[in-house]
Structure 1
Amino acid sequence: MSIWTPLESNPEVLTKYIHKLGVSSAWSVTDVIGLDEELLAMLPRPVKSLILLFPISEAYEKHRAEEHERIKAAAEPEKYPKDLFYMKQFTHNACGTVALIHSVANNKDIEIAAGVLKNFLEKGANLSPEERGQALEQDNAFTEDHQMLAQEGQTDAGAYETVVHHFIALVNKENTLYELDGRKSYPISHGKTSDETFVLDAAKVCKEFMARDPDDVRFTVLALAATQE
C-alpha cells in the first residue's frame, strides 16, 4: 500500500485541486458553516455533494463493523444504479481524493476537461470498486497532483501521527442518498432524497456521525457546489 500526504479540509486548496484535475470552474468546494436549516440555505446552489471529514473513533469502527454484517446478512443484496461510481480506497491517506472522485463522478452534469480525472473515470467506468482503487494507487499523474496540492495546504503534518481523520462523500444518485466511503465494503443507501431535499437529507446523515461521538468536535463538512460569482 502506498502512502500519500493527507489532504487538508481547506476549501480553497480543494477547489484548486479539482480545477487542476479538470473539473469546470463553474464548481467549487465550499465550507458548510452549520447543519441547521437556515445555515444550509446559505450554501450556493445547486449542491452536488456533501463531504464529511470525521475522526475514526472506536464508536465509528463499531458502527462500521455492525453495518457491514447487517448488509452482508440481508436476505436480498442491495441493488445499486448501474452507473453508480464507487471505488475502494487502498492508498493510505487518499480518502480526500476518493471523496472528491465520488462527488464528481456521480454527477454527470459536472463538466470535466481532458486530463487526469477524465482519463481515470473513463478507464474506470467498467472496472470493479476494487480495480478502481488499485488503478488510483498505480496512477502516477494522480499521485503527483495529489501530493502537490496536499503539500500546499498542509499546516501541521505532526497532527496526523496521532489523529486519524477520514473523508467520505454523500451524493444523490437517482433520488437515493448514498454514502460513498472507500473504507467500506459497499455503498451505503440512506433512503430516498431529491434535488430539493438533498442538502437537508445529507446534513441529517452528518448529524448521525456526530451523534456517535457527541464529545468530539473534530468534524468538518464541505460542499461541492456552484461557484459563487
Structure 2
Amino acid sequence: MADGGGWSTIESDEGVFTSLVENLGVKGVQFEELISLDADTIRSLSPVYGVIFLFKWMRDQAPTQTTTTPLDGTYDTTPPENLFFAAQTIQNACGTQAQSQANPAHRTRPHPPLLQRLHNRLPPDLRGEALSNSEEIRTAHNAFAKASPFVDETTRDANEEEGDAYHFIAYTAVNGTLYELDGLQPYPISHGSCAGAETGGGEDFAEKVIGVLQRRIARYPEGETRFNLMAVVRDLRLRASEIGDAELMEREERKRRAWAWENTLRRSNFVGFIGEVLKGVAGMKEGRGEFEEWVEKAKGETQRRLNRR
C-alpha cells in the first residue's frame, strides 16, 4: 500500500479490531461479532464494555450547523470527565475512533499513553484532530488495509460521491448513562439511565442498546440489511483460565490463530502470484500446442455469459 498520508478503509471484522486495539496498547479485551439483536447473546459475553455499530451513512440523517437535537436521545453538552469523546475530522478514521471511544480503559485501567494524553489535555474537537494526525495510530489503522497495486484508498477524494459510504459509531455505558459516541455529531448523545453501568455494561445495557439500535435501523428503507454489530468484551481467554474451561480456551486460541492468518492475508498482495500462475498455465498450454484452442474456448465462454446477462 502506498503511503499517501491518509486513512484507508478497514473491514468491520472482530479479528481486525481486536488486533488493532492491541497494537494501540489496549490489553485484556476483544471484539465479538453479534449476528442478531439479541439481549441474551450480549449478556452471555458479560462484561460488555460497549458495542461498535457499522451502518450505511445517509446524508439526510447527518447533523448540520443548525442541528440542536439528535434524531434520538439528547446531546450531553457537559459529558463526564471519564467519557472519551473525539470529533472525527478525517475520512475513513471512524473505525479506529469508534473502538477508541468504546474501549473500557476509562473505567477499568489507564488509557494507552497516547489516548490518555489526548483525553487529559484536549477538548473533544481537538482530540479528534490530534488522533487523526497521529502517525502511530494511523500506521496501526492502515496496517489492516487491503493491499492493492492499482487503488490507493488513502488518496481517495473526500468529496467522492460514487458508491455507498459507511460509518462506525460506538455505544457505551458510563456513570449510569448509555451514551452514543459518533464523531460526526457535535456532542455525545445520551440515551438515558443504564443501571449497573460500572460493572461492564450492567443489567440494563443489553436491553437499552438494542432498543436504540432497533429505532435507528427502523429509519432505513424496508429490506436494508447492510449493518454490522460488534461487542467490546473482556478477553474470553481470561474467563476460560479463571474457570478452568479447557474447551473454551482451545476454541479461543484457535480463533486467535485464524485471526492472525486472516490478517496476514489482508496485508498481502496476490496479484504477482496470480500473474505467475497464469504465465505457467499459458506456457504449459503453448508447449502442448493447445494455447490457441484454450484462448478461443475462453472467449466463447465469456461471450455465452454475456449473452445470458
> Does TM, scored on the shorter chain, surpass 0.5?
yes
* Secondary structure of 2:171's aligned partner: strand
- Does the 8 Å contact 2:83/2:106 carry over to 1? no
- Does the 8 Å contact 2:15/2:31 carry over to 1? yes
Report the more deviating stretch, 210-219 or 46-55.
210-219
- Does the 8 Å contact 1:23/1:110 carry over to 2? no
Matched with 1:228 is 236
Alignment partners' CA distance in 2, 1:78 and 1:225 = 28
Corresponding residue to 1:16 among 19, 29, 32? 19
Matched with 1:208 is 215
Unpaired runs of 5+ residues, structure 1, are none
* Secondary structure of 2:217's aligned partner: helix
Alignment partners' CA distance in 1, 2:54 and 2:216 = 10
Instruction: Give, as a single letter, the amino acid of the residue that structure 2 aligns with 1:28.
Output: Q
* RMSD value, Cα: 2.7
Matched with 1:196 is 203
The 5-angstrom pairing of residues 51-90 of structure 1 reads 51-61=52-62, 64-65=63-64, 68-70=67-69, 78-90=77-89
- Does the 8 Å contact 1:171/1:179 carry over to 2? yes
Structure 1 residue 121: deviation in Å? 2.3
- Does the 8 Å contact 1:54/1:167 carry over to 2? yes
Corresponding residue to 1:33 among 32, 35, 56? 35
Matched with 2:187 is 186
Structure (1/2) with the larger helix percentage: 2
Instruction: Give, as a single letter, the amino acid of the residue that structure 2 aligns with 1:60.
Output: Q
The 5-angstrom pairing of residues 143-154 of structure 1 reads 143-151=138-146
Alignment partners' CA distance in 1, 2:67 and 2:105 = 23
* Secondary structure of 2:167's aligned partner: strand
Structure 1 residue 58: deviation in Å? 4.1
Alignment partners' CA distance in 1, 2:205 and 2:225 = 24
Instruction: Give, as a single letter, the amino acid of the residue that structure 2 aligns with 1:221.
Output: L
- Does the 8 Å contact 2:52/2:230 carry over to 1? yes
* Secondary structure of 2:144's aligned partner: helix
* Secondary structure of 1:217's aligned partner: coil
Deviations 1:107-156 (A, max 9, x none): 420465xxxx422322432311111011112211111111002337xxx9
| Larger Rg over CA atoms | 2
Structure 1 residue 65: deviation in Å? 4.7
Structure 1 residue 200: deviation in Å? 1.8
Unpaired runs of 5+ residues, structure 2, are 196-201, 238-309
Change (3 A) 1:161 1:10: farther
Structure 1 residue 37: deviation in Å? 2.9
Instruction: Give, as a single letter, the amino acid of the residue that structure 2 aligns with 1:223.
Output: A
Instruction: Give, as a single letter, the amino acid of the residue that structure 2 aligns with 1:129.
Output: P
* Secondary structure of 1:218's aligned partner: coil
Aligned pair count?
212
* Secondary structure of 1:212's aligned partner: coil
Matched with 1:7 is 10
TM-score, with structure 1 as normaliser: 0.82
Change (3 A) 1:37 1:143: closer
Corresponding residue to 2:119 among 106, 124, 129? 124
- Does the 8 Å contact 1:59/1:212 carry over to 2? no
| % same residue | 29
Change (3 A) 1:161 1:228: farther
> Which of structures 1 and 2 has the larger relative contact order (alpha carbons within 8 angstroms, sep 6+)?
1
Deviations 1:7-42 (A, max 9, x none): 211101111111111111x21011112113343344
Corresponding residue to 2:132 among 137, 162, 166? 137
Alignment partners' CA distance in 1, 2:85 and 2:229 = 20
Alignment partners' CA distance in 1, 2:139 and 2:6 = 12
